[in-house]
Amino acid sequence: MSVKETQNRVKMVSYKVTVSTAIPAYATTLNNVFIKLVGTDGESDRSWLCNLSGPLAFTAGKVSTFTVLCPVSIGKPILIELDKKPLLLFREDSWFPDKVEVECPDGDTYNFPIYRWITDSEVHRFREGTALRVFEDIHHLGRYSRELELNQREKDYSWDVYSEGMPHNMKVEGPLSLPCEVRFSFTKTTEFGFTALAGIAELGLKGLSGSESSWTNMDDLNRVFCNKRTDISEYVQEHWKEDAFFGYQYLNGVNPMLIQRCTALPKNLPVTDDMLFLHGQRSLADEMKKGNIFLLDYKRLDGLTANIVNGKQQYLMAPLVLLQKTPDDTLMPIAIQLKQTPADDNPIFLPTDSEYDWLTAKLFVRSADFSEHQLNVHLLRTHLLAEVFAVSLLRNVPMVHPLYKLLIPHTRYTLQINFLARLALISETGVFTKFASSGGEAMGTILKRSLSSMTYSSLCMPEDIAERGMEEVPNYYYRDDGLKLWDIIQRFVEGVLTFYYKSDEEVEKDTELQKWISDIFEHGFLSQKSTGIPQRFTSVAELVKFVTMVIFTCSAQHSAVNTGQYDYGGWMPNTPISLQLPPPTTKGTTSEATMLNTLPDVSTTVQGMSTVWLLSKPSSDFVTLGQFPEGHFSEVIPWELMKDFQGELEVLSAAIEVRNRKLDIPYTYLDPAKMENSVAI
Ligand code: FE2
Q: Are 625 and 676 within 8 A, CB to CB?
A: yes
User: Could you tell me the distance, in angstroms and rounded to a whole number, from the CA of residue 237 to the centre of ligand 1?
Assistant: 23
614-663: pLDDT as tens digits: 888 877 788 999 999 999 999 999 999 999 999 999 999 999 999 999 99
Confidence band, pLDDT 50/70/90 cuts, at residue 194: very low
Whether residues 464 and 518 fall in one domain: yes
Q: Are 392 and 519 within 8 A, CB to CB?
A: yes
Separation CA 581–CA 312 (nearest Å)? 10
Residue 669 lies in a domain: yes
Which pLDDT score, from 0 to 100, does residue 232 have? 96
**Residue 149 above 80 pLDDT?**
yes
Whether residues 121 and 165 fall in one domain: no
**Residue 98 above 70 pLDDT?**
yes
DSSP 191: H
Residue 401 lies in a domain: yes
Residue 428 lies in a domain: yes
> What is the rounded average pLDDT for all residues in the chain?
94
Residue 664 lies in a domain: yes
**Residue 9 above 60 pLDDT?**
no
User: Could you tell me the distance, in angstroms and rounded to a whole number, from the CA of residue 383 to the centre of ligand 1?
Assistant: 6
Residue 299 lies in a domain: no
Last residue of a domain, one of 112, 128, 144: 128
Separation CA 458–CA 496 (nearest Å)? 25
Please tell me whether residue 491 adopts helix, strand or coil conformation.
helix
39-58: pLDDT as tens digits: 999 999 999 999 999 889 99
**Residue 2 above 60 pLDDT?**
no
Confidence band, pLDDT 50/70/90 cuts, at residue 590: very high
Whether residues 62 and 166 fall in one domain: no
- The total of structural domains in the chain comes to 2
449-476: pLDDT as tens digits: 999 999 999 999 999 999 999 999 999 9
Residue 148 burial (CB count, 10 A) = 12
User: Could you tell me the distance, in angstroms and rounded to a whole number, from the CA of residue 255 to the centre of ligand 1?
Assistant: 13
Residue 245 lies in a domain: no
Whether residues 541 and 638 fall in one domain: yes
Whether residues 627 and 535 fall in one domain: yes
User: Could you tell me the distance, in angstroms and rounded to a whole number, from the CA of residue 497 to the centre of ligand 1?
Assistant: 28
Q: Report in angstroms the alpha-carbon separations of 311 from 127, 212, 214, 435, 441.
A: 58, 10, 13, 11, 16
User: Could you tell me the distance, in angstroms and rounded to a whole number, from the CA of residue 554 to the centre of ligand 1?
Assistant: 10
User: Could you tell me the distance, in angstroms and rounded to a whole number, from the CA of residue 316 to the centre of ligand 1?
Assistant: 23
Residue 222 lies in a domain: no
Which pLDDT score, from 0 to 100, does residue 91 have? 84
**Better-scored residue on pLDDT, 178 or 400:** 400
**Better-scored residue on pLDDT, 54 or 170:** 170
User: Could you tell me the distance, in angstroms and rounded to a whole number, from the CA of residue 482 to the centre of ligand 1?
Assistant: 18
Which pLDDT score, from 0 to 100, does residue 202 have? 74
Confidence band, pLDDT 50/70/90 cuts, at residue 280: confident
Which pLDDT score, from 0 to 100, does residue 203 have? 76
Residue 363 lies in a domain: no
Whether residues 74 and 163 fall in one domain: no
Separation CA 196–CA 188 (nearest Å)? 12
Stretch (H or E) spanning 114: none
Whether residues 165 and 56 fall in one domain: no
Whether residues 165 and 124 fall in one domain: no
Confidence band, pLDDT 50/70/90 cuts, at residue 189: confident
User: Could you tell me the distance, in angstroms and rounded to a whole number, from the CA of residue 553 to the centre of ligand 1?
Assistant: 11
User: Could you tell me the distance, in angstroms and rounded to a whole number, from the CA of residue 622 to the centre of ligand 1?
Assistant: 13
Which pLDDT score, from 0 to 100, does residue 676 have? 97
429-451: pLDDT as tens digits: 889 999 999 999 999 999 999 99
658: CATH? 1.20.245.10
Which pLDDT score, from 0 to 100, does residue 534 have? 98
User: Could you tell me the distance, in angstroms and rounded to a whole number, from the CA of residue 488 to the centre of ligand 1?
Assistant: 23
- Laid out side by side, the sheet with 109-113 consists of 63-70, 13-21, 97-103, 109-113
User: Could you tell me the distance, in angstroms and rounded to a whole number, from the CA of residue 96 to the centre of ligand 1?
Assistant: 27
User: Could you tell me the distance, in angstroms and rounded to a whole number, from the CA of residue 369 to the centre of ligand 1?
Assistant: 16
Whether residues 164 and 58 fall in one domain: no
Which pLDDT score, from 0 to 100, does residue 578 have? 97
Whether residues 424 and 482 fall in one domain: yes
Which pLDDT score, from 0 to 100, does residue 8 have? 53
- Domain boundaries, position 451: 159-170+374-555+616-674
Confidence band, pLDDT 50/70/90 cuts, at residue 324: very high
Last residue of a domain, one of 77, 111, 128: 128
53: CATH? 2.60.60.20
User: Could you tell me the distance, in angstroms and rounded to a whole number, from the CA of residue 560 to the centre of ligand 1?
Assistant: 10
User: Could you tell me the distance, in angstroms and rounded to a whole number, from the CA of residue 465 to the centre of ligand 1?
Assistant: 22
Whether residues 531 and 647 fall in one domain: yes
Residue 603 CA to chain centroid, in angstroms?
A: 29
Q: Are 113 and 99 within 8 A, CB to CB?
A: yes
User: Could you tell me the distance, in angstroms and rounded to a whole number, from the CA of residue 53 to the centre of ligand 1?
Assistant: 44
Whether residues 384 and 529 fall in one domain: yes
